[in-house]
Amino acid sequence: MKKVFIISSLLIIGFLNPLEAQFTQVELFTGFDKTDFTLFSSYPINKSKTLSLNTLAFFQKFKEEKQEFDEIGVQPTFFWNITKNIAIGTSIYYNSFAGYSERLSAKYTFKSSRLLLVLIPTVAHSDKIDASYAEVFIQFQYNKPLNDNLSLWLNGQFLTIWDEFKIHSRSFQQLRVGMSFYDHQLGIGLDIDQYGLKPIEKSALGFYYRKTL
């Protein structure tokens, strides 16, 4: 049923995205030690725009690793926008390491002409370990226009997960600095990934390309 739910959500995106899409963003990061492809889509599913479907899908591959750190994730989330800045949502998340989990999230969004800030705390239950966990995700984007077509961008994403609300399981920090020309963004990126109770840390410096569709 969970696989059917995820596949159905992605099919819905495919059919409705041309009609109702708010935005879809894809990013490719590649460095000496890691390649990461991420897709994020968000659009309203009713006329009042109080309900929306956000979908995150990613694939990351670490190069020349003795241990297996390659990771795939798919997460469709239905959000109910209570106010302009606050929403609550539910989702099913599949991760190639952690398996399936059922999630309940709150989302706070602040947006201005130059700054975007998103804070998403989550509580969830993992089927694989049959235990609950907590997660905090923070995203920011800042842009400074240089002329009508060219802008300077600073992007950051930060995630931390605690199994049973106290044991570090997974975290990452992703920083991007680049220039955008129309909807094309290109620059330098740094990814820092941590795994486990006594974190194994993996760092990768490289280039990224981001496109808003």
Domain count for the chain, please give it: 1
- pLDDT category at 19 given cuts 50, 70, 90 is very low
Confidence (pLDDT) at 104: 98
Amino acid at 35: T
H/E run at residue 102: strand 99-111
Sequence-distant (6+) residues with CB within 8 A of 106 are: 86, 87, 88, 89, 120, 121, 122
Confidence (pLDDT) at 65: 66
Confidence (pLDDT) at 195: 92
Give the CA dihedral 99, 213, 30, 113, nearest 10 degrees: -100
How far, in Å, are 34, 67, 72, 175, 191 from residue 206 at the CA level? 8, 21, 20, 11, 9
Burial 49-85 (b: 16+ CB within 10 A, else e): eeebbbbbbbebebeeeeeebebebbbbbebebeeee
User: Residue 163 belongs to a domain with what CATH number?
Assistant: 2.40.160.40
Select the more confidently predicted residue: 45 or 137: 137
Note down the domain range covering 133.
Answer: 2-212
Q: Is the pLDDT of residue 100 over 80?
A: yes
Half-sphere exposure of 16 (CA within 13 A, CB side): 19
Q: Is the pLDDT of residue 51 over 90?
A: yes
Average pLDDT over residues 88-113: 94
